[in-house]
Amino acid sequence: MIKKILRWLILGGTLFFLAKALKDNWQGIAAIRIDAAGWAIIAIATGVTLLGHTWAGWIWTWILRNLNQPVSSVQFIQIYLQTNIGKYLPGNVWHYYGRIIAAKNANISSSTATLSVLLEPLLMAAAALIVALLGSLFVKTNTNLTVHIRQILGLFVVLCVLHPRFLNLLIRLLHRLKTKKSDCTTTSDVSFTMEHYPLQPLLGEIGFLGLRGMGFILIFYALSPVNSTQIPLLFTAFSFAWLLGLVVPGAPGGLGVFEATAIALLQNYFPAAVVISATGVYRLVSILAETLGAGLAWLDERLFR
């Protein structure tokens, strides 16, 4: 009951914040015009975002190989892309469920399939936090040395948490939370263990965040000039907003949470109308890229079956 109330409070607060931001900046948003070069940049951003989702599917195959499962990269990237849009369904677990079922159909054990889809969001969250902390070190602000030391310590803590000794505890906790949301994931006798530090998948997820952040910056550039000194700020804000969209409950695909966080973080550095427009366009571009990815994966699977 408390969780449901919390979800509704988060949803209501997010919608109120976004509605107020739109109301206060509507004239500025309506005045924004996108020329032919801007549309070309948005098309490039869509391609970069699609590449990011494809790259994330490839990382999933790395995770499975680290779990001693020699899977086909092409087949499992297709599965990843086709199930990706399931994140927007209520519950925010159906893309994981689809991947577990597909992996089990490919003769992968239930425990290994579940471990792979539990490990992926943990590594994504860690990568987003690492990118945000690293980016904040290069953002030109009036922060003192103490703040930078805390950021470096934060990086150290994140890297330590990914050690199998601590990571296995997080995996079991996440499994319990996901199982409570849906009874379709795994049986109760599943054992979740990681034996090695997931360095390669972690670096891959940092690359995934880099591609997604690049798409976000391109959208900004299509709407308003962006200089090189502002890129670390945009990367940092994007990574933190994307992280909250991933972990906050009640937000399928981070819908609303990502936008509200990005607006709150960037509206003091860019015109509010540009920030609101950029986050809105980026959401549309992201959904379009995910839909294209699912459609192309389905078509490729049918043509080369």
Place 280 in a pLDDT band, splitting at 50, 70 and 90: very high
Average pLDDT, the chain: 83
| Mean pLDDT calculated for residue range 203-227 | 93
Give the span between the Cα atoms of 85 and 87, in whole angstroms: 5
Q: Is the pLDDT of residue 6 over 80?
A: no
Place 70 in a pLDDT band, splitting at 50, 70 and 90: confident
DSSP-assigned letters across all residues of the chain: -HHHHHHHHHHHHHHHHHHHHHHHTHHHHHH----HHHHHHHHHHHHHHHHHHHHHHHHHHHHHHHTT----HHHHHHHHHHHHGGGGSTTS-HHHHHHHHHHHHTT--HHHHHHHHHHHHHHHHHHHHHHHHHHHHHS-----HHHHHHHHHHHHHHHHHTSHHHHHHHHHHHHHHHHHH-TTS--TT------S--HHHHHHHHHHHHHHHHHHHHHHHHHS---GGGHHHHHHHHHHHHHHHHHSTT-GGGTTHHHHHHHHHHTTTS-HHHHHHHHHHHHHHHHHHHHHHHHHHHHHHHHT-
Can you read off the two tokens belonging to residue 146? 């103490």
> What was the pLDDT predicted at 51?
96
> What was the pLDDT predicted at 207?
95
Q: What percentage of residues in the chain have a pLDDT greater than 70? A: 84
The model's pLDDT over 34-57, given as tens digits with 9 standing for 90+, comes to: 899 999 999 999 999 999 999 999
Place 213 in a pLDDT band, splitting at 50, 70 and 90: very high
- For residues 22 and 246, the model is more confident at 246
Place 188 in a pLDDT band, splitting at 50, 70 and 90: very low
Locate the domains of the chain by residue range.
38-303
> What was the pLDDT predicted at 23?
73
Q: Is the pLDDT of residue 75 over 60?
A: yes
Q: Is the pLDDT of residue 177 over 80?
A: no
Q: Is the pLDDT of residue 103 over 80?
A: yes
> What was the pLDDT predicted at 185?
44
Give the span between the Cα atoms of 53 and 74, in whole angstroms: 13
Place 132 in a pLDDT band, splitting at 50, 70 and 90: confident
Please, what is the end-to-end C-alpha distance for the chain in angstroms?
46
> What was the pLDDT predicted at 255?
80
| Mean pLDDT calculated for residue range 19-46 | 84
Place 144 in a pLDDT band, splitting at 50, 70 and 90: low
| Full-model pTM | 0.84
